């Protein structure tokens, strides 16, 4: 601290060498420099160490959330492929997974940078405990996590439009008329001598004939 004061005294005696077009600008620069030095002098090495540990703990927390997010995204992707969520939703889920991996990568960089600086293997001539060396990767980790969250929300929102439950049923009458129903199920009521329910793969079920004078109903719904 004494050496810093000596430097400030030297600068005060040689203000003409400081940046600035006139004496007022040079004085302003000197006062501002003195304020910054005063603020730095109030921070002990332990304060900087605690700040760095807080940054590392934040990176660890984000990383744990990221690992859980990757597992959840894998489950949602499998479910979406099984239930025809549509290409847009699947692509959003895939991009969300990549963004999560990107977030994990920067989180690991935060932890490794802090460890290397603490041991002196990196930045040996700088202050060992400093959040300045961590802030870029920590910020990118948070940004990547936010991107992954936005993509996940887009995937879920888009799935409601592409899901078969949203599309409903298409119905073609014997005369060729095509109808559609947005409902999740349809019910057919009437009398028939033969009735088959088929999908694109073939016959699902054959229903027995309905005796004359009786009415039967069947319900077809999406599962």
Estimate to the nearest angstrom the gap between the alpha carbon of 216 and the chain centroid.
Answer: 52
pLDDT on residue 90: 92
- List, run by run, the mean pLDDT of 10-residue segments along the chain (223 residues): 55 61 71 65 69 87 92 91 85 94 93 82 71 86 94 89 57 63 67 70 68 74 59
pLDDT on residue 1: 47
pLDDT on residue 66: 92
Which residue has 């870029």 as its token pair? Answer: 136
pLDDT on residue 129: 75
Tokens of 85: 């969520």
pLDDT on residue 150: 96
Beta bridge partners of 217: 189
DSSP classification of residue 122? S
pLDDT on residue 104: 94
Q: Which residues contact 138 (CB under 8 A, 6 or more apart)?
A: 55, 58, 59, 106, 110
pLDDT on residue 144: 94
**Residue 176 φ/ψ region, left for φ over 0, alpha for ψ in the -120 to 50 degree band, beta for the rest:** left
Q: In residues, how long is the chain?
A: 223
Do residues 154 and 120 touch, judged by C-beta distance below 8 A? no
Which long-range contacts does 83-86 make (Cβ < 8 Å, 24+ apart)? Answer: 83/163, 83/164, 84/162, 84/163, 84/164, 85/155, 85/158, 85/159, 85/162, 85/163, 86/158, 86/159, 86/161, 86/162, 86/163
Q: How far apart are CA 174 and CA 189, in angstroms?
A: 16
> 196 phi and psi, to 5 degrees?
-120, 140
pLDDT on residue 30: 65
């Amino acid at each position: 601290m004494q050496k810093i004061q000596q430097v400030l005294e030297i600068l005060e005696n040689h203000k003409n060498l400081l940046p600035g077009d006139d004496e007022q600008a040079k004085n302003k620069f000197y006062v501002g420099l003195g304020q910054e030095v005063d603020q730095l002098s109030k921070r002990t090495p332990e304060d900087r160490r605690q700040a760095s540990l807080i940054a590392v703990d934040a990176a660890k927390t984000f990383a744990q959330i990221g690992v859980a997010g990757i597992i959840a995204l894998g489950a949602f992707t499998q479910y979406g492929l099984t239930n025809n969520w549509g290409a847009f939703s699947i692509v959003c889920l895939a991009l969300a997974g990549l963004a999560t991996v990107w977030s994990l990568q920067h989180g690991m960089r935060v932890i490794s940078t802090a460890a290397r600086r603490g041991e002196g293997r990196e930045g040996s001539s700088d202050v060992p405990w400093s959040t300045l060396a961590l802030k870029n990767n920590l910020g990118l980790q948070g940004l990547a996590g936010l991107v992954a969250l936005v993509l996940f929300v887009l995937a879920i929102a888009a799935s409601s439009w592409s899901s078969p439950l949203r599309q409903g049923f298409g119905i073609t009458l014997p005369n060729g008329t095509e109808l559609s129903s947005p409902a999740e199920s349809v019910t057919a009521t009437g009398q028939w001598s033969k009735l088959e329910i088929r999908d694109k793969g073939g016959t699902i079920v054959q229903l027995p004939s309905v005796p004359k004078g009786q009415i039967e109903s069947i319900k077809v719904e999406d599962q």
